[in-house]
Structure 1
Amino acid sequence: MAAIRTVLVLHGYSQNASIFSKRLGALRRECGNSVDLVFIDGPHILQPADLPGSTTPSPDDNLASLGAAEAANAGADPTLTPRAWWKFNPDKTFAYGLRESIEAIRDVLKSRRFDGVLGFSQGAAFAAMISALLEKPHLYPPFLVEGQPPHPPLKFCIAVSGFRLRDPFCDPLFAGQYSTPTLHVIGKNDIIVVEERSRTLVEASSNKRVEEHQGGHFVPSKRQWLKFLRGYMLDPSAELLSPSTSGSSAPNSGTATPTESRDGAAATLKL
């Protein structure tokens, strides 16, 4: 039986498609044959200086380090190679590699049809950008294919621990907000992308639903959350009960543990 929904999935900074697919194993099992989750790699391979523990300062003081623990073994296993959708140039004035990632997504979108997109952290910021760009494709002509958008606007976007990227490219993109139905998932105890930072992306979307969990920087994977996420992907307009509870969520999906710097503070990350 063919899946009735196809969803593009965008990993976080220093993860990759393989790592994130494994971390969303519970969600993949919950979706079964009803939702096809298509994981793709960010085009930029990260170097040691780009990973947590680097002395390179972050372009955003509100973001601590995340990084994937698996990256330490990337030399022995290429499937653990840390990747990103963008990095920052030395003077932090723009997101280096962002346009290359947009063009890579264009090539994915023109090859098949997707109902929606799900992104985590940097991937969530990028998912919202792609959703907005499909509404206003002529803002970036290289995104077009023979003068036409590569794909129709998406039916939904799910942004987990997302944020609005501080890059001039985003200003016209989010001017007047974007209208793709967007589920914003915010961790109340997220110290990587703090709630205030996630709210900047919420403010950029006009058709939104916000759900909070009491955990940190991960995709919540308690049973009620898995059912809710599957339900939303099947029908974003459905009147789904909130999965939020007063208890904390175990960080067993999309986990990103901050590392410690030499002075004991959380290291910073170039998101």
Structure 2
Amino acid sequence: MAAKKVLMLHGYAQNATIFSKRMGALRKTCGKDIEFVFVDAPHVLTPADLAEAFQSSNESSSLDDLGASEAAATQTDPALAPRGWWSVDAARTKTVGIEDSIMLLRDYLSKDHYEGIFGFSQGAAMAAVVAALLEKPETYPPFLVDGKPPHPPLTFCISAAGFRPHSPLCDAIFLPSYATPTLHILGRNDVIVVEERARTLIDVSSNARVEYHDGGHFVPSKANWRNFLKAYMKDSQGDVPSPSAAPASQPASGAATPVTPAAS
């Protein structure tokens, strides 16, 4: 049986290389059953962007603590440049640059078949945008390829620490709801994407499953979670037992992202 392909979208101030590294334990658990395709967001963040992110943060942590240090090492390896899927205006009513991200992902979708999409933080929000847009691609005509959708609706979407972005385009895509089966993963101690913020996406997800872990702003990586995610991706419509009864997860996988207008 061929591996199921899943698009993987990193968080703000990360990149595909960093996210792939952070998902190493999950990749190993999934083996040949799931093929992960890690995508770089199109917008490279400058030192000024990162400085603004730090200044905008409500946390006392530094950017290093929040997980952006690896991606900031562009002097030694330009491939590790920190990236974002969009930025926002001061009023947080526009998702500046999200169109570029939509078109980038359209190109991936038009060239292969993907079972689902998996995103973390801003990448989780972007993943939900794509899943919803595939249900009604006419909402954004440039998304079409020769007048047709670039890909059938996805079988599943996994949103880890996701939220609903707000802009006229995103409102048109999400409202009143979208139906792609979506697994929402929330950290009980996540102070960056708190539950109230995560609920803005859950509320427009008509086919939602919500699972909690006891940690913060990261993708849980203990064995119970890795096995659960593998089972879910192999059969998102099946009766996959919750991982929450097992011991709490640790932040060994995934990466935190700063509280910043660009990540909102």
TM-score by length of 1: 0.89
Distance of aligned partners of 1:137 and 1:54 in 2 relative to their CA distance in 1, 3 Å threshold: closer
What percent of counterpart residues are identical?
A: 55
DSSP-derived class of the 2:14 partner:
coil
- How far apart, in 1, do the equivalents of 2:14 and 2:190 lie? 18
> After TM superposition, what 4+ stretches of structure 1 lie above 6 angstroms from structure 2?
none
CA deviation profile, 1:188-234 (whole Å, cap 9, x unmatched): 10011111111111111101110000100111001010000000000
Aligned to 2:144: 144
Go from structure 1 to structure 2 and tell me whether the alpha carbon gap of 1:174 and 1:257 turns closer, same or farther (over 3 Å shift).
closer
Task: State the partner residue of 1:75.
Answer: 75
- The CA distance in 2 between the partners of 1:55 and 1:244, in whole Å, is 32
Answer yes or no: is the 8 Å Cα contact 1:213–1:245 preserved in 2.
no
Alignment gaps of 5+ in structure 2: none
Please give the residue correspondences for 1:206-245 in structure 2 after superposition, counting only pairs within 5 Å.
206-245=206-245
Q: Which residue of 2 aligns with 1:111?
A: 111
Measured on the aligned residues, the alpha-carbon RMSD in Å equals 2.1
Give runs of aligned pairs for residues 84-123 of structure 1, distance below 5 A. Answer: 84-90=84-90, 92-123=92-123
Paired residue for 2:184?
Answer: 184
CA contact (8 A) 1:214 1:246 kept: no
Cα pair distance change 1:55/1:181, threshold 3 Å: closer
Answer yes or no: is the 8 Å Cα contact 2:8–2:38 preserved in 1.
Answer: yes
* SS of residue matched to 1:73: coil
In 2, the alpha carbon distance for the partners of 1:86 and 1:67 equals 18
Where does the alignment leave 5 or more consecutive residues of structure 1 unmatched? 259-266
Q: Which amino acid aligns with 1:42?
A: A
Q: C-alpha displacement at 1:255, in angstroms?
A: 2.3
Name which of structure 1's ranges 84-93 and 173-182 shifts more when overlaid on structure 2.
Answer: 84-93
Tell me which protein shows more helix as a share of its residues. Answer: 2
**Does structure 1 conserve the Cα–Cα contact (< 8 Å) formed by 2:92 and 2:261?**
no
Distance 1:241 1:168, change over 3 A: same
- Deviation string, structure 1 residues 152-191 (Cα, Å, up to 9, x no partner): 0000000000000022211121112100000000001001
Residue 93 of structure 1 deviates from its aligned partner by 3.3
Q: Give the letter aligned to residue 19 of structure 2.
A: F
> Would you say how many aligned residue pairs link Structure 1 and Structure 2?
259
Q: 2:72, 2:37 → 1: CA distance?
A: 25
